[in-house]
Every structure is written in C-alpha cells, then in structure tokens.
Amino acid sequence: MKRRQLETCIVGAGMSGLLMAIRLKKAGRPFQIIEKAHSVGGTWRENRYPGLTCDVPSFFYSYSFEPNPDWTHRFSPGPEIRAYFERVAEKYGLLEHVRFGETISAARYEGGAWSIETGRGDRIRAEVLVDATGPLHIKNYPEIPGMDDFEGALFHSADWDDELDLRGKRIAVIGNGSTGVQMMKPLAEQASELTLFQRTAQWIFPVGNQRYSESQRRWTRRLPILGWLTRQFYKRLFDLASVGVTQDGYWRRRMKKGCEEHLASVRDPELRAKLTPDYEPGCKRLILNRDFYRVLERDHVHLVTGRIDRIEPRGVVTADGRLHELDVIVLATGFRAHDWGIDNVVGAEGLSLAEAWASGPRTYRSITMPGFPNFFMLVGPNSPIGNISIIDVSETQTRYVLDCIRRIEKAEGRALAPKPEAAERFQAELREAMKGTVWITGCNSWYLDPDGIPTLWPWSAAQFHRVMRRPEFGDFDWI
C-alpha cells in the first residue's frame, strides 16, 4: 500500500518559509506557499533603507547546506541577502510552488484538515499548516498627532522611498533601534541637517563590518572548507553570547564591559549622558555597531531626547515647544512583534488563536499549540530570537516539523497537537528559567508580551538545538 503524503500549506516565502519548502521538496512531500508580496525574501524584500545590514555575520546567516563564498562583508548589505534568497528559491525550484500576491483571510481546522481562505476568496485544503510569517512583518506606526499634516516626505523605514533625493535635506529619524542606528551614517553623508529622536538610549557593542577582499572570496570559492570553518567559528561565538543573556557570569560581564567601554569613547559628557541607558546591556536587543557614536559627534547631526508632542506641516514639535523644521521624517519604529502569524486561525474546538493567546502567546516548544492540530509556527513565540542566527534556529525547527509530518503520515490518527499539560509544563519551565535572564532586569522591550513575560527562549542556543533535536511524541495527542 502506498503511504499517504500530507499536503502542506506554508504561509510566507521569507527565510523560514523557503527553508521549510526545501525540506519538504527534498523529502518528496507536496506543498504550496502563500506569499502576500510578488517576490520572495521576506524582511529582506521589505527593508531597503540606506545602511541596511544583518546583525548576524553572513557566513552564519545563510543556510548550512547552501553556503555563499561571495559575501562582501562580515555583515553583508540587505540587497546581497535578498539576492541570496532569490537565488536559493530559483535553484531549488520553489517559485513554481508559490502563490504570489495572496493573503490568508482565515484558516479553520475542520474535517481532518485545514480549510484556508485567501484574500481573493479562493479556498485551499491542506492537512498541514505551517505559519512562516515571523514576528517582524507588520509595521509599527507610532501614535504621534499630526503625522498626516506634514508637508514633507514621511514614511516607515520598511516603505523606503527609493525615488526621493536626500541630498541637502533636513532629515529626522524617529527611533534608535538597529534600523535607526544603521541608517544614521549614510543619511549623515547626504543630509544638511540630521536629527535623531531618541526615546530610550540603547547599548551598543562595538563590532566592525569587515570587508572581504576579492582575494579572500576567491580562496573561499576554491576551498569551501574555509567558509565552513568561518561559519563554525561564528556559530560557537554566538552560542556563547546566548549564554550571556540567559545566565549571569563571565559572558554577561564581558558584554557589559564592552558596551560601557564603547560608550566611554563619546567625548562630549552631555552627549554621553544622553546615550547612557538605565538598564542592563542585553535587556533590549543588543546593537552591533562601531560608527554610530562618531556620527552623532558631527556638527550637523543632532540627538533629541525630549518627548515628541506632535508633528506639524513644517516639522516635529517636542514637549518643550520647540519646532524642529524638517524636509523628511523616517519612522524607524520597527514592527508589531507580537502580532504573530495569521490573524484568523481557528482550531479543532472552535477556539481562535487570538482567543487562546488572550493573555499572551503560549506555545509548546515554540512551534505547536494545544487545540491546533497539524499547525506549526516557525520563528514563533518562545523561539530564540535574540542576538543569534534565526537561520540556525529555523534549520532546527524545520527538521522538527518534518519529523512530525513523517510521524503523522505513519500513524493511524489524522493529526497531532501537543497535550495541554505538556504545554503548561513547558510554559512553567520557561517562566522559572526567565528569572535568570537579562530580559527581566527592568527594561521595556519588544521581547515582552502584554503580561511583561519575554516571548523568548530562556536557555542557551546550544540547549535549544539539543532539546529540539527530535519531537517527544509522548507529549502529543492524536486527533
């Protein structure tokens, strides 16, 4: 008898969605991908702002089975990363499986499968639903009165206006996370005046962005082991860094010392005071950058820490009543990190995911949820999404999902979902382990859910890979 093969629907053609598709294709399993845009690449398609790089070294931020010897920098520019994912999608024949320009309006588990309705009104039936949308895909807009009144150009950093000539403009950046910090140097080289509106100071660890010479790239092409060794070096380094945020000890002290010494390099004591955070390094996502402080010391670059009161036609008004006249306002305000996945997902008992997570996201091992059979999330709540490689995380998660699919195909039951008690036990272990992490030391970050609980993995990256090496099927119900 021919063994049945499950049809899988993947939502999202970014890094993790493409990876899941490659796993399924190599395993000979049928699948299709629903993608809201008209090309692959996810966040690397959406973000095009000047200075965009990944804060994970490129040799580590690439699929282990698809190395790229031609990275130009340690932290390569966004267009290179997007081009990498486009090449991978084409090489593995994934484009023919993607329904571009489609969104999911609803997904309901009924009759032993997922009934999926697209924004166009089409209906898709799949036995397995994989949400690969990630936490950083819905833009976050600040609630500032008067944004529609501004007479200049105003846009979100993920909606960059490629046609806008920035030369000689008075430019404001609202937000100083990784995005705001990365764009400051290239904007400073074009603007007549550049103003950064900072709400909360950020810790910055000084790491330079080494450029790889043509000779280095040529040797890496000739000897692939060089790229493999570079990847292994960074994997080990970032595994150790993950210990610093999850456990007190040497690596946390080293991280703090590096940040404090870099901050001390700011010569102006008044500026240095404005840039000094009031929380522990690592509590918010650590920024890796060596240029930011030097940029802020330029005469035509200004740091404003006062609260923004409103936006008027000519610029930004701060709480002290001062009008900062501007030509361009860039909202580097990130994404709504807790709007996980698909809006309207309804499980086997008629409970929606939004209802199940009314008090905050709750998962079993970051991938599955009780009451939602054959539903898997990649880079979902409780994934290790701090300063480590999300590709490395996704490689482990997609193997885990494929193991589950293979087991479902063999079993008499039609679907699996984690037992409620298994999920509760996992969440209890999470809460207990969070007590030793830096994320609960007193800062307000996008890591925290509405209850103030970090939706992260509170153990080391190495432990994540050990725990997630294979599913514990005794923790699942067969439905």
Domains of the chain, residue spans: 8-138+336-478, 147-211+216-331
CATH number of 8-138+336-478: 3.50.50.60
- pLDDT at site 3: 58
Q: Along the 479 residues of the chain, how does pLDDT read in single tens digits?
A: 455 788 999 999 999 999 999 999 999 999 999 999 999 999 999 999 999 999 999 999 999 999 999 999 999 999 999 999 999 999 999 999 999 999 999 999 998 999 999 999 999 999 999 999 987 778 999 999 999 999 999 999 999 999 999 999 999 999 999 999 999 999 999 999 999 999 999 999 999 999 999 999 999 999 999 999 999 999 998 888 888 888 888 989 999 999 999 999 999 999 999 999 999 999 998 999 999 999 999 999 999 999 999 999 999 999 999 999 999 999 999 987 666 666 789 999 899 988 888 877 889 999 999 999 999 999 988 998 776 789 999 999 999 999 999 999 988 668 999 999 999 999 999 999 998 899 988 888 888 877 778 888 999 888 999 999 999 999 999 98
pLDDT of residue 325: 98
- The pLDDT value recorded for residue 241 is 83
- Give buried/exposed letters for 301-327 (b at 16+ CB in 10 A, else e): bebbeeebbebbeebbbbeeeeebebb
Kindly report the pTM of this predicted structure: 0.94
- pLDDT for residue 1: 40
Instruction: Tell me if 8-138+336-478 shares its fold with 147-211+216-331.
Output: yes
- CATH for 147-211+216-331, options being 1.10.357.10, 3.10.20.600, 3.30.1180.20, 3.50.50.60: 3.50.50.60
